[in-house]
Structure 1
Amino acid sequence: MAQLRLHRDGISAALPGLDILIASDSLDAMIETYPPASPGTRSSGSGLTPTVLRSSDVREMGTVVVNDIHPERKEKKSLALRLPGCSDADGRLVLYFDGDGRVSIHVPEIDTRPPPGVRASSGAVLRVDVELRVAEASGDGTRGIGGIVAKHVLKVIGWKVVGAAARRVGPPLVRAWEAAHRPLRVLDNESLFVPKAQSGITHIPVANRSLLFIHGTFSRVAAAFSGIPEDDAFQQRIRERYGKHIYGFDHATLATGVATNVMQLFDRLSPGHHTLDVICHSRGGLIARALRDMNEAQLKQRFRIDVDRGVYDEGMINWGTNWRIPDGVTVEVDRIIFGATPNMGTSLAQPTHLQFYLEMLMTASNLLPEFVDVTVDAILATAKLLVAEVMPQLPGLDDQKPDSSLMALLSAVPDGLDAAVQADYVSSNKALTAMRAADRTMNIIFGKEKNDVVVPTDGVSLWSGGQFKASRILSFGEDAQVHHSNLFRQSTTRDHLIEWLM
């Protein structure tokens, strides 16, 4: 660790041990700098550990800790970081952790007029302006990722982009990350909820009735349904109902469209007639609906739409172009239990809201990792899209927009055996301050519409053509403090699942 006194004179100063400069005309502070790989800047838990960084295909460029010398001055305070010597092949982001643990993501821009002495010998100078937030919580310090106790923590991360057009073709980069870290696989009853299961089974065998778990965006089966593996009574009941025919479907959710996911699932069904009950979380419910409602021609039509977006590589295009429902495979989806599924879409899927979405997930992962089914490496891998010159559309998110053309291909009326679990989350005085701030941000996006921080509450069970039976809706009110990612941790949810499945 090295230290530097920052004066509010607007003059850039080099941060010791880092190829970064800092300046401010509104802040007097003591600055601490930590070089990459410094043990003092990382936590052993869910933070930016070396493993997480490698999994995200990013590297840490350094950590800057800002201790405000005059916190009693309540005027707006900001600072500028300058990153010299960056080329078109350098991607950079700055993560800012405030005193409440809230995380924001800042995208550098080229500094067209860097001050004297700041010009790089080669490459451009990137500039990031960060307005510091005043901590709302009582007490000192922050729970910023990495275990540092301070008012403000800034982490600079970087990566190399491949090819001159890499900033404009973000989705293929996300697809490559998902292929490496979100492998396509079917999990059997033995590996279903194993967090680090290395492989699955090749095909789901035919049975009189099977139960299938399908996760949502960013996630995996082992993470999306936390609460179920720990409930021995629940496990026993579903084994009595389905025997060993209980499966999970792990798949890519960002750079892969819903229809493509269904095509991939069909390829993993053994020949014969399959009767499926499905428990799904979030986007997984759209896969279940498409599996039930869409025919082969419609699936291939949607696949071609994703191809036209330039998302799929040659191998995927060849597979999808020649794809057919496997010979002898027929599917009957008997009932679907929708956990927080955006059945009427969600505004968070709009490309313009991607940054808010990622910041909310990052904050939750920082403060409440045990209650979030999204890993930090998945968030960082997606955050790299924010440097794109034009915000790309990811098919997996685009299918969830309220005006998505996918919705027109799905039945507007729920089946009589379908069921829904939904929540209206309104942060309480007991909630962590940063989560209250995230909730306020989501309310700006959703307006007056009730929501669970990710999807509209009523859109889970109230479709354009009808509503679920009252006896098959479990709706958590704001007093329950249930949100999008902890639905299945509620014993009430699991009790209703058993009732609806039997």
Structure 2
Amino acid sequence: MATLDGSSRQVNLGQGIAVRAPGLRGRADAHNVAPGAETRAPEVDGSGAALDAALTQEGFLRLRVITLDVAPVPQAPAGELRAPISDVPGMEVTVPDLGEDVAQVLLAVDENGVVSWNFPVDSGDALAPTTRGSGDVVRFIVPAFASAPDAGEAAETRGVLGLIGRKVLELVALPLAELVVPPLAGAAARLWESKSRIARARSFTPANYTSGDVPSLADADWERLASGRSLWFVHGTFVNTDSAFRAFPSDLLAALSDHYGGRVAAIDHHTLGIDPIGNADLVRELVPDGVQIEADIVCHSRGGLVGRALAGQGGDPVFDVRRIVHVASANHGTALATPNNLVPFIDRITTMVNLIPDGPAAVVETALTSVLVVVKIIAKYGLVGIPGLAAMDSAGDFLHGFNSTELPAEQFAIAADFSPSGGWRAMAVKNVQNVVVDRVFGDLANDLVVPTAGVYQGDDAMQVREDRRLVLPKARGVYHGSFFGQRDVATQIASWLTG
């Protein structure tokens, strides 16, 4: 155990690891958790079982866990270290360079369960994930803030990724042999999704909607869906159908199923490697010849763009769509989808998973394996465009063309303005300059992933009438991943579809 005294001196933790933490004082220790090593503190886990499984599945190796029990030095001057991307006070962590064949990433879980992915920096403290260390070490600069929830808003004692109440850093490595992929980020994402995700249409019933173990639609299923108007659910980024909609009230889904004569289905689609028009084209290939589908659509996040593409936005329609209900849809994009914000994007998604109380294993696994693919891409290619995410770039070319024409379908929208509290407060407290929220969105109301107003209006043809909107205020505490667990949201969806 080493002592940090608030100065800028480098403190050695052993095993070739050193920490420099200006403005923080307390204790730090490094634990060897590499395969085959005798773990010094097996109860200390920065990632937790869920992420451990995802790391193993995606070829990462856990090497070290660094624990820090620290507090800010009162009235300490601003530190000379600034974390890349977020530009907040940071602490430096150096680890042994494992050579050209291994990429290293440092995962940090702070006192409130907020997660950040940290990539190596160069000698100028700029993010440089594709470079090896200078000399015999690799350097990271990790956000160093230490914040506490307001009185009465105590954080949970443990999130799914590890201990809360102390700062935990987990060093993981990826042998670059695991990154034998085509020499483009988009091709890498497509290759992973082709092996790990099924692009398909599936049934969506009160009995099976929370399960991923559901057969794809057969020709007879398509013909039944074509016998009357059908209802389709379309998920968003990093997830699939069963993880995205599992909180939807089963009794309301049963009522909707009755209304549509049992003709309810869903689209599982790739969210990284191709754009929404490409998603729609793949669905077109699934529809048997001669089958015409009349549909209503409920969509979430990036799924809003896929739903509109199915209705004919940006190309020929796949379905004859009457109504689309957008739930937190990225209709006007999100600044998180710009290449420079890829790290805040995956930080935010990982934090959401971590702070879901007793999050279902399916949700955790699906989201984290997808995040780790983006971690791989950043580790190999740096901050580059990924086609499925770039389609949501609010400043990108895709949305500019996609939103240039009106869509004849009736469109409805549900959005929220989220105000962090409790464990989330570390994402927006003043002393860290709004690390995750305001540094991305500025003063725009948002649900942590998309701007609130961007769900239903913008400076283009994509507009949703005011009488077809439900906007949840800050007091509700609804964020991007929690809409379908709100009964009034599900009730409003059902009302719009059946009215």
Tell whether the structures are fold-level matches, with TM greater than 0.5.
Answer: yes
Give the conservation status (yes or no) of the 8 Å contact 2:331–2:462.
no
Question: Counterpart of 1:293 in 2: which secondary structure?
Answer: coil
- Residue 32 (structure 1) aligned with residue 26 (structure 2): no
| Counterpart among 417, 426, 439 of residue 424 in structure 1 | 417
Q: Separation in 2 of the partners of 1:365 and 1:337? A: 25
Q: Separation in 2 of the partners of 1:256 and 1:287? A: 11
Give the conservation status (yes or no) of the 8 Å contact 2:59–2:178.
no
**CA-to-partner distance for each residue in 1:343-384, whole Å, 9 max, x for gaps?**
122211111111111112222222225679662232233123
- Residue 93 (structure 1) aligned with residue 105 (structure 2): yes
Q: Separation in 2 of the partners of 1:360 and 1:265? A: 30
Question: Counterpart of 2:293 in 1: which secondary structure?
Answer: strand
Q: Separation in 1 of the partners of 2:106 and 2:140? A: 8
**Matched letter for residue 370 of structure 2:** A
Give the conservation status (yes or no) of the 8 Å contact 1:338–1:460.
yes
| Counterpart among 209, 212, 236 of residue 216 in structure 1 | 236
- Residue 189 (structure 1) aligned with residue 189 (structure 2): no
Over the matched positions of the two proteins, sequence identity in percent amounts to: 24
**CA-to-partner distance for each residue in 1:420-455, whole Å, 9 max, x for gaps?**
111122235x56423545976323322232222211
Q: CA RMSD in A?
A: 3.6
**Matched letter for residue 246 of structure 2:** S
Q: Paired residue for 1:310?
A: none
**CA-to-partner distance for each residue in 1:103-150, whole Å, 9 max, x for gaps?**
2222113669xxxxxxx9998531113352122237899746654465
Give the conservation status (yes or no) of the 8 Å contact 1:47–1:366.
no
Matches within 5 A, 1:47-126: 47-49=50-52, 51-68=53-70, 74=76, 79-109=91-121, 124-126=136-138
Q: Paired residue for 2:393?
A: 401
Q: Paired residue for 1:448?
A: 443
Question: Counterpart of 1:66 in 2: which secondary structure?
Answer: strand
- Residue 413 (structure 1) aligned with residue 406 (structure 2): yes
- Residue 293 (structure 1) aligned with residue 312 (structure 2): yes
Q: Separation in 2 of the partners of 1:345 and 1:224? A: 19
Q: Separation in 2 of the partners of 1:449 and 1:25? A: 33
Please report how far the alpha carbon of residue 36 of structure 1 lies from its aligned counterpart in structure 2 after TM superposition. Answer: 2.1
| Counterpart among 442, 452, 473 of residue 457 in structure 1 | 452
- Residue 225 (structure 1) aligned with residue 245 (structure 2): yes
Q: Paired residue for 2:266?
A: 248
| Counterpart among 349, 367, 380 of residue 361 in structure 1 | 349
Q: Paired residue for 1:376?
A: 368
Q: Paired residue for 2:84?
A: none
**Matched letter for residue 83 of structure 1:** V
Matches within 5 A, 1:271-282: 271=289, 272-282=291-301
Please report how far the alpha carbon of residue 185 of structure 1 lies from its aligned counterpart in structure 2 after TM superposition. Answer: 2.6
**CA-to-partner distance for each residue in 1:286-340, whole Å, 9 max, x for gaps?**
1111122257xx58xxxxxxxxxxxxxxxxxxxxxxxxx9xxxx63112111111
Q: Paired residue for 2:148?
A: 136
Matches within 5 A, 1:256-405: 256-271=274-289, 272-294=291-313, 298=315, 331-368=319-356, 375-388=367-380, 390-405=382-397
**Matched letter for residue 404 of structure 1:** G
Question: Counterpart of 1:173 in 2: which secondary structure?
Answer: helix
**CA-to-partner distance for each residue in 1:248-268, whole Å, 9 max, x for gaps?**
111210122212211111122
Q: Separation in 2 of the partners of 1:197 and 1:72? A: 54
TM-aligned CA distance change 1:198 to 1:76, over 3 Å: farther
Q: Separation in 2 of the partners of 1:85 and 1:466? A: 50
Give the conservation status (yes or no) of the 8 Å contact 1:105–1:355.
yes
Q: Paired residue for 1:467?
A: 463
Q: Separation in 2 of the partners of 1:45 and 1:9? A: 31
Give TM-score scaled by structure 2 length.
Answer: 0.80
Give the conservation status (yes or no) of the 8 Å contact 1:289–1:410.
no
Q: Separation in 2 of the partners of 1:416 and 1:254? A: 26
TM-aligned CA distance change 1:144 to 1:61, over 3 Å: farther
Q: Separation in 2 of the partners of 1:333 and 1:108? A: 47
**Matched letter for residue 69 of structure 2:** N
Q: Paired residue for 1:482?
A: 478
Give the conservation status (yes or no) of the 8 Å contact 1:65–1:150.
no
Give the conservation status (yes or no) of the 8 Å contact 1:94–1:105.
yes
Please report how far the alpha carbon of residue 499 of structure 1 lies from its aligned counterpart in structure 2 after TM superposition. Answer: 1.2
**Matched letter for residue 159 of structure 1:** L
| Counterpart among 212, 218, 222 of residue 205 in structure 1 | 222
Aligned residues: 457
**CA-to-partner distance for each residue in 1:396-442, whole Å, 9 max, x for gaps?**
111112243333245643546321111122235x5642354597632
Q: Separation in 2 of the partners of 1:130 and 1:431? A: 19
Give TM-score scaled by structure 1 length.
Answer: 0.79
TM-aligned CA distance change 1:167 to 1:155, over 3 Å: farther
Give the conservation status (yes or no) of the 8 Å contact 2:338–2:390.
yes
TM-aligned CA distance change 1:484 to 1:144, over 3 Å: closer
TM-aligned CA distance change 1:377 to 1:405, over 3 Å: same
Segment drifting more, 240-249 vs 382-391: 382-391
Give the conservation status (yes or no) of the 8 Å contact 2:324–2:412.
yes
Give the conservation status (yes or no) of the 8 Å contact 2:331–2:456.
yes
Give the conservation status (yes or no) of the 8 Å contact 2:445–2:453.
yes
Question: Counterpart of 1:252 in 2: which secondary structure?
Answer: coil
Segment drifting more, 240-249 vs 71-80: 71-80
Please report how far the alpha carbon of residue 166 of structure 1 lies from its aligned counterpart in structure 2 after TM superposition. Answer: 6.6
**Matched letter for residue 466 of structure 2:** A
Q: Separation in 2 of the partners of 1:392 and 1:69? A: 36
**Matched letter for residue 453 of structure 1:** L
TM-aligned CA distance change 1:123 to 1:425, over 3 Å: same
TM-aligned CA distance change 1:142 to 1:227, over 3 Å: closer
| Counterpart among 165, 168, 171 of residue 153 in structure 1 | 168
**CA-to-partner distance for each residue in 1:451-493, whole Å, 9 max, x for gaps?**
2221121222225236333332111122222221111211111
Q: Separation in 2 of the partners of 1:149 and 1:340? A: 29
Q: Paired residue for 2:490?
A: 494
Question: Counterpart of 1:128 in 2: which secondary structure?
Answer: strand
Give the conservation status (yes or no) of the 8 Å contact 2:72–2:146.
no
